[in-house]
Structure 1
Amino acid sequence: MDAREMALHRAYEHAVRWLAGLSDRPVPARAPAEEIVRALGPGLPDGPTSPADVVDLLATACEPGLTAFPGGRFYGFVVGGSLPAALAADWLVSAWDQNCVMRAVSPACAAAEDIAGAWLLDLLDLPPASGVGFTTGATMANFACLAAARDAVLGNVGWNVARDGLTGAPAVRVIAGAERHIAIDLALSQLGLGEPELVATDDQGRIRADDLRHTLTTEAPAPTIVVLQAGNLHSGGFDPFPQAVGAAREASAWVHVDGAFGLWAAASPRLAHWTTGCPDADSWATDAHKTLNVPYDCGLAVVRDAGALRAAMSRKGAYLIHDERGDPADTVPELSRRGRAFPVWAALRSLGRDGVADLVDGLCRHAGEFAAGIAAIEGASVLNDVVFTQVCATFGDDARTDRVMSRLLEEGTAWISGSTWQGRRVMRISVSNWSTTDDDVARTLTAIRRAAAAV
């Protein structure tokens, strides 16, 4: 066995041991970063170390500083696990070591993107001729989509961003709901579009379509982008797409949908009604490493006008080999990137259409179980309509809610993050992992009851 093979075997052993122990270990990390630094050794050695020994040191030193994200009892943020086929495919991605930017250089990467992209458009009920880019995550998916939107709406008034930049360009109005995700603000800032104009939202964080229509008509016509949301960060709620898209169309605005985790409702016959009207938008951003449960990092940028996405993202270099059918590099900001489509293809192939629907439905069912269990705790209240995978609860006043969450994290059975929503501190539960079981939900609810009783 040579050095590379030995290192891979050690990595496999450590990975299997880590995954097998997730059900029994505390979910929060047990050691701070400073302790991990000491264990890893902050000084660069003078001489070489065998690859297998490096893997052993990395695994043993880092293990106490790892949070059990892949386990069934992590509900903080919206973090999915990794489906078995997707995880194994991601190992192959690293072993194959392809730079997935040119169709001619790595035909397998292009083929995986072509197939996985078409499957995604079908599952999410999006226009079949749309352009699909495999980005690092939803932030860069929003970036790519909004870049296409910016360039298109300015192009409609005769301004060429690629040639002339933004200096002296007509102002672009970007309108979003007051409860949009911070990823929208990040992307807009990076694109030189500044902060969005905000439209009021209802008690579930959904944009008010009448207020949107009013906002769109209060100023003279201008290049305009409207940002809508599929899956509110706190409530899981969906904007009223038929009315909101209709209002935007009346103003000739580009409509973008941030659907980081909620866009996957379209894959479930039971939940697809929440996305009615969503396919009428111009672009959509989502994460595959959230609801679909592929490994980090993988976001998806979808633009109805594939040419607009290519125009915003693609640049030609004399040393590159260009394919007339288009290259993966034409759809995302990066030139160098790993084969993100392979794990997506593997996840979709392993689940099939029915399996994706079952995955989404199962996450939502567990969210409903959490809501019912918490509502039965004395002094606790669930604040949102649980329509998807999010549950926001309080345990009385803000101070007690924070104490319950702190006690829960100290105990370690589960990891649930806090937040502030509509002026109140909340326990925010995000059910995002395929491996969460009924027993995981029951164990977590028992831990929440213990924490609430203790404070």
Structure 2
Amino acid sequence: MPESKVIEDIVQQADGGLHKMAAPTFFGYVLGASHPVGVAADFLVSAWGQNAGSSFETPAITGMERAVCNWVIELLSLPAESGAGLVTGGTVANMAGIMAARHALLAAQGWDVEADGLFGAPEIPVLIGQDAHSAPFAALRYAGFGASRTQTVAADSEGRIKPDAFRAAINRCSKPPLVILQAGQINTGAFDPFDELIPMVREKKGWVHVDGAFGLWLAAVPELADRLEGVGEADSWAIDLHKWLNAPFDAGMVIVRDRAPLVASMSARGAYLPETTEHWEPSDSTPELSRRARGVPSYAILRHLGRAGVRDLVAHHCRLAERIARTVSNEPGLTVLNRIHSNQVAICCGDGTDDGKLTMQVLRRVQENGKVYPTHGEWAGRKIIRASVIGYGMQEEDADLLSTEIIDAYRCCVADVR
């Protein structure tokens, strides 16, 4: 079949099976929307066809990717000496950070996990909030910690770890623990109280990893950064570039205060590979030897937006979330279940006595109408309509359209019942 016909067929056959995730009316999940300059740079990446795992073979790409790492670390006011690696997304970034923690905590007890594995290794207690995202739980499994051995700590009504409950849990740890905190709860957008929790971990000589997939970006905005007070005192952080930076998939970053444990846990060397150099090696900080030059689109977006542009984008989206919450809350019968900490809005319909049926009916009507697309979730024991404000093109009229569609759908559903 001719090449042009293959492409024509793919376009035709995919029609109807794709979602308008890059549209400014897509409020489902926390995805980002593939910024055009990033998409254009992504064309270059595919056309160049480079395996970007080695600075020896692709020094131009390594230079751009190292710039991305440095710029993001600076934007987030994290320690300048931190090491970083560009990975596929938040799940792998969490895994890499957790594996770096595993190396450091076991090395402190005289155990070389890379050489000797986990069989017979000393204990590492693991603490995580009960309302943490599924990604760090998955990362713990990938790193060999196991889901059932993790101790979950009680959280408040916004999903933040309770300091008193945390103190009780960490006092039960007989060895230095791995503690996973959260910057941006998936339903409420809330942040764990880093300034209270991290000093407790320091007392136990433990390691703090922060799942900051989207919420960590608020650290770049001076007027919002106090919501993450103390987050820079952690040991490692996971962040998505495809979220608030709106880089095309796949794009994430792991950042570790001390680069050595990350390199020890990630790097792989073979006789056919270039010898280790004094330069930053991409494959030393990620679980991949072969990969596309995924940092180039983020480099292009950061060059385009600059510091001020990134800060304005994050602040703008947080304001839009507040706008949606105000409008929806003014409609009798609609309730916003969370404070607006960042870009997430959790909405429920009715008084909660129908097991969420009305909320799900409203959501289906909104989705089927096809003008905007929020998604479902559960929070505070109730079914919710969850709106995530993160696409680069979202404006006030898009936020208002979402609110109008939810209100109109709610009124229609209530009228149908009557």
TM range (shorter): over 0.9
Q: Distance in 1 between matches of 2:101 and 2:293?
A: 26
Q: Distance in 1 between matches of 2:245 and 2:15?
A: 26
2:201 is the alignment partner of 1:243: no
Aligned to 2:216: 263
Which residues in structure 2 correspond to 1:53-72 (within 5 Å)?
A: 53-72=5-24
User: Aligned in 2, Cα 1:303/1:52: closer, same or farther, shift over 3 Å?
Assistant: same
Amino acid at match of 2:196: Q
2:356 is the alignment partner of 1:404: no
Give, in angstroms, the shift of residue 344 of structure 1: 1.0
2:251 is the alignment partner of 1:298: yes
Aligned to 1:3: none
Q: Distance in 1 between matches of 2:108 and 2:387?
A: 43
**Number of equivalent positions:** 406
Amino acid at match of 1:431: V
State the SS of the aligned residue for 2:399: helix
Which residues in structure 2 correspond to 1:42-191 (within 5 Å)?
A: 49-191=1-143
CA offsets 1:184-208 (integer angstroms, 9 cap, x no match): 1111011110122011111100011
Q: Contact conserved, 2:176 with 2:204, CA < 8 A, in 1?
A: no
Name which of structure 1's ranges 210-219 and 232-241 shifts more when overlaid on structure 2: 210-219
CA offsets 1:322-374 (integer angstroms, 9 cap, x no match): 34124100000111111111111111110011100100011111111110111
State the SS of the aligned residue for 1:64: coil
State the SS of the aligned residue for 1:329: helix
Aligned to 2:376: 418
State the SS of the aligned residue for 1:65: coil
Q: Contact conserved, 1:103 with 1:110, CA < 8 A, in 2?
A: yes
State the SS of the aligned residue for 2:127: strand
Give the alignment partner of residue 342 of structure 1, picking from 292, 296, 302: 296
Q: Contact conserved, 2:210 with 2:236, CA < 8 A, in 1?
A: yes
Aligned to 2:332: 378
Which residues in structure 2 correspond to 1:323-362 (within 5 Å)?
A: 323-324=276-277, 325-362=279-316
Amino acid at match of 1:331: S
Q: Distance in 2 between matches of 1:380 and 1:230?
A: 27
Amino acid at match of 1:209: P
Give, in angstroms, the shift of residue 409 of structure 1: 1.1
Q: Contact conserved, 2:61 with 2:296, CA < 8 A, in 1?
A: yes
Q: Contact conserved, 1:176 with 1:197, CA < 8 A, in 2?
A: yes
2:277 is the alignment partner of 1:277: no
Q: Distance in 1 between matches of 2:212 and 2:173?
A: 28
Amino acid at match of 1:228: L
Give, in angstroms, the shift of residue 223 of structure 1: 3.6
State the SS of the aligned residue for 2:15: helix
Identity %: 41
Q: Distance in 2 between matches of 1:121 and 1:331?
A: 15
2:205 is the alignment partner of 1:252: yes
State the SS of the aligned residue for 2:319: helix
State the SS of the aligned residue for 2:6: helix
State the SS of the aligned residue for 1:265: helix
2:323 is the alignment partner of 1:369: yes
Q: Contact conserved, 1:154 with 1:223, CA < 8 A, in 2?
A: no
Give the alignment partner of residue 447 of structure 1, picking from 399, 402, 405: 405
Question: Scaled by the length of structure 2, what TM-score is found?
Answer: 0.96
Give, in angstroms, the shift of residue 66 of structure 1: 1.0
Amino acid at match of 2:325: A
Q: Distance in 2 between matches of 1:124 and 1:55?
A: 41
State the SS of the aligned residue for 2:392: coil
Give, in angstroms, the shift of residue 68 of structure 1: 0.4
State the SS of the aligned residue for 1:112: helix
Amino acid at match of 2:272: Y
Aligned to 2:343: 389
Aligned to 1:286: 239
Amino acid at match of 1:184: P
Give, in angstroms, the shift of residue 209 of structure 1: 1.8
Aligned to 2:181: 228
2:388 is the alignment partner of 1:435: no
CA offsets 1:196-225 (integer angstroms, 9 cap, x no match): 2011111100011222121111242x1410
Aligned to 2:416: none
Amino acid at match of 1:379: G
Q: Distance in 2 between matches of 1:345 and 1:416?
A: 30
Unaligned runs of 5+ in 1: 1-48
Q: Distance in 1 between matches of 2:204 and 2:276?
A: 37
Give the alignment partner of residue 311 of structure 1, picking from 264, 274, 298: 264
CA offsets 1:419-452 (integer angstroms, 9 cap, x no match): 1112111111111101112221222222112210
Amino acid at match of 1:373: T
CA offsets 1:273-295 (integer angstroms, 9 cap, x no match): 11221010000001000111000
